[in-house]
Amino acid sequence: MRSKPITKKIISGKFKGRILSLPSKTTTRSSKTIVLESFFNTIQFEIIDATFVEVFSGSGSIGLEALSRGAKEIIFMERDRDALGVLKKNIALTDPTACEVFSGDSFENIKAVVKKLKRKNESAYFYIDPPFSVREGMEDIYDKMIKMIASLPKEVVKLIIIEHMTGLEIPHIIGSFEVLKSKKFGNTSLTYLRAD
C-alpha cells in the first residue's frame, strides 16, 4: 500500500488553503504549524512588500506563506534534489514571477544572494532553518550557520530568524547582530536577531 503523500496548507493570505507537497521526512523536516503561526503573528505587517530569504527551504512552505501574506519577493535556497523538485512544484501553485531559487549549498550560495540584495539596494528577512545537527553528516551545521550569519553585511538584513533545536545555545552577539528574543515550542525554538 502506498503511503499518503505528506502535505501542508498555506494558512493565510492570498494563497490561503493552497495545498503544498512536502518532501519525505528523511530529506527535510517541516516546521510545525504552531511555530509558523507564532512567527507570522510576530512579523505579519513588517513583511508586506518585503524581500524574504528562506535558507534551507525544503518545501518552501515558510517562504510561500510569506508570499501569500504580502511579501514582494522570495528567495529560496535548497541543496537536496528531491526537495528542489517539490519546492518548484509548490512555487508553481502560487506566483513563480515573485520567486527565485538558488539550488546548491546554501553556505556557498549566500554570497550570491548578498550580492543580489546589494545590487538592488535592498534588505531582507532571513529565515534560517538548518537540518537538526542530530542528522548524519550534519554535526557541524550550527557552527557553519553561526559563521554564515556573522558574514552577512548588516545593510542587507532587516531581521534574522533561526529555527533550531531548543537545547542549542545561540550566542547573544553574532557578527553585527544581536539576539532580540527567543521563543520555545517544545523541541523547537525561534530566535530573532537584528543588527545592533
pLDDT tens-digit map of 99-113 = 999 999 999 999 999
Q: Note the pTM of the prediction, 2 decimals.
A: 0.92
Asked if the 7-195 domain carries CATH number 3.40.50.720, the reply is: no
* Domain chopping of the chain, boundaries: 7-195
Q: Once rounded to an integer, what is the mean pLDDT over residues 86-96?
A: 97
Which range is least confidently modeled, 20-24, 109-113, 189-193? 20-24
d(CA 72, CA 67): 7
Residue 60 reports pLDDT greater than 80? yes
Tell me the backbone φ, ψ of residue 177, rounded to 5 degrees: -115, 150
1: pLDDT confidence band, cut at 50, 70 and 90?
Answer: very low
- Grid cell in block for residue 170: 545561540
Which range is least confidently modeled, 44-53, 106-115, 128-137, 146-155? 128-137
- Grid cell in block for residue 88: 518548484
Q: What is the mean pLDDT of the chain?
A: 90
**Helical residues (DSSP H) of 94-163, grouped into ranges:** 106-119, 141-151
136: pLDDT confidence band, cut at 50, 70 and 90?
Answer: low
Look at the block and give the residue holding cell 506566483: 95
Residue 91 reports pLDDT greater than 90? yes
| pLDDT at 6 (0 to 100) | 82
Give the start-end residues of each E strand in 62-136. Answer: 73-78, 99-103, 124-128
* Three-class secondary structure of residue 47 per DSSP: coil
* Three-class secondary structure of residue 67 per DSSP: helix
Q: Once rounded to an integer, what is the mean pLDDT over residues 79-97?
A: 96
Rounded percentage of the chain residues whose pLDDT exceeds 90:
75
Residue 152 reports pLDDT greater than 60? yes
| pLDDT at 196 (0 to 100) | 75
Q: Once rounded to an integer, what is the mean pLDDT over residues 63-85?
A: 96
